[in-house]
Amino acid sequence: MRQFRTPFVAALTIAVAACTLVAATALGSTARHAQRAHASSGGLEVGVGDESPLMFSSPAWTDLQVKIARYFTAYDVASGNDPSALANFQGWLAQAQAHGVQPLVAFYHTATDATKLPSVATYTQDMRDFVQMFPTVTVLQPWNEVNRGNVRAPGDNYDSPSAKQSADYYLALKKVCPTCTIVGLDVLDSTDINATLDYIDAFKAYVGKKNMPHIWGLHNYSETNRFDDYGTKAVLADVPGQLWLTETGGLAQFKPAFPYNLTRQAKATRYMFSLADSSRRITRLYDYSFFGGAAPNGGFDAGLTNAAGKPRPAYCVFYEHVRGMHTCPFKTGKSPTKKHKK
């Protein structure tokens, strides 16, 4: 899902990115050793996805003690074609590495030309530039939500790669960085899981058995928030190896199906962990996102906190699971779960 950033968070994000630009460059030469990912009480490695570097300085983030985080950015971010995208990523990465957090970076279309997909040659060169500029970032996804199709909607106008293009991008990235951990395919579940499975099967046919990925990515918002498991199980049955829930989370709102409701969001967050713990092959989970919207407006909002960083009830569900505790250190208002002594 694409994040709808409020003016408050957007302005501060740009400011932090500018201040940490030099720090990011210095950190680029640090050792390649990946930080150990934080495991939940059931052994699942758990992290958060959010594009704001402010997340890392939030007390609510610090108390989670998670050590993995996800960021998506333009495939040509290292080229400097979009200076603001490069500065934002460098600022985020500097904060992540300063806090000992292992980044997972997913690539996406450019903001300036979102309906144009790169050729394999262009994509390969952009990946070379990225790996050279950011040698400590070694966990990568070739393309974010490959099966979204060609989206034409107010505020969203972009194209997605075909299964053949996704296979070409995966093979190109694998060749550019053979020592990297690469999530082979990153798909959205949607309400029609058969379409998702068709895309996966076409991708598998193009890459072949020799180059079959060992790690797959799934965004299972639909099931997490409808308290279902059919689609996740179907994807697990269709792919070999590990499945990472590279984006998932309880929705605070996403109209018309999900009007603003923090109680429902907390219940969905609890189910999210039950679904992840249902298979040992689901080895990582990235809740998206940390910051939510400024006010109920019907747009996509799965934030564990509001736009100002104040924890919601879903945050406490998340906190208690990853920390293995029965109390949450933050007051979030009326809780939809059992009451705990503070």
> What pLDDT, in 10s, does the model give residues 8-43?
333 334 343 344 433 333 333 333 333 334 444 457
What pLDDT score does 333 carry?
Answer: 57
The mean per-residue pLDDT over the stretch 283-296 comes to 94
What pLDDT score does 296 carry?
Answer: 83
d(CA 316, CA 9): 22
Is residue 330's pLDDT more than 70? yes
Helix (H) or strand (E) holding 15, with range, is: helix 7-19
The mean per-residue pLDDT over the stretch 264-293 comes to 97
The answer to whether the beta carbons of residues 299 and 293 sit under 8 Å apart is yes
pTM for this model (two decimals): 0.86
Give 91's contacts (C-beta < 8 A, 6+ positions apart).
13, 16, 17, 18, 19, 20, 21, 24, 53
Q: Which two tokens stand for residue 217?
A: 């990515």
The mean per-residue pLDDT over the stretch 271-279 comes to 97
Sign of CA dihedral 51, 52, 58, 60: negative
d(CA 270, CA 292): 18
Domains and CATH numbers, the chain: 38-323 (3.20.20.80)
- Tell how many helices (H) and how many strands (E) occur in the chain: 11, 11
Percent residues over pLDDT 70 in the chain: 85
The mean per-residue pLDDT over the stretch 68-94 comes to 97
Which residue type does 12 have?
L
Give the model confidence (pLDDT) of 163-199 as tens digits.
999 999 999 999 999 999 999 999 999 878 999 999 9
Task: For 100, list phi and psi in degrees, rounded to 5.
Answer: 70, 35
What pLDDT score does 42 carry?
Answer: 53
Structure-token match 């996740």, residue found: 232
What pLDDT score does 10 carry?
Answer: 39
Instruction: Give residue 3's pLDDT band: very low, low, confident or very high (50, 70, 90).
Output: very low
What DSSP state is assigned to residue 99?
Answer: T
Question: How many residues does this entry show for the chain?
Answer: 342
What average pLDDT does the chain have?
Answer: 87
Q: Which two tokens stand for residue 109?
A: 């279309």
The mean per-residue pLDDT over the stretch 33-54 comes to 71
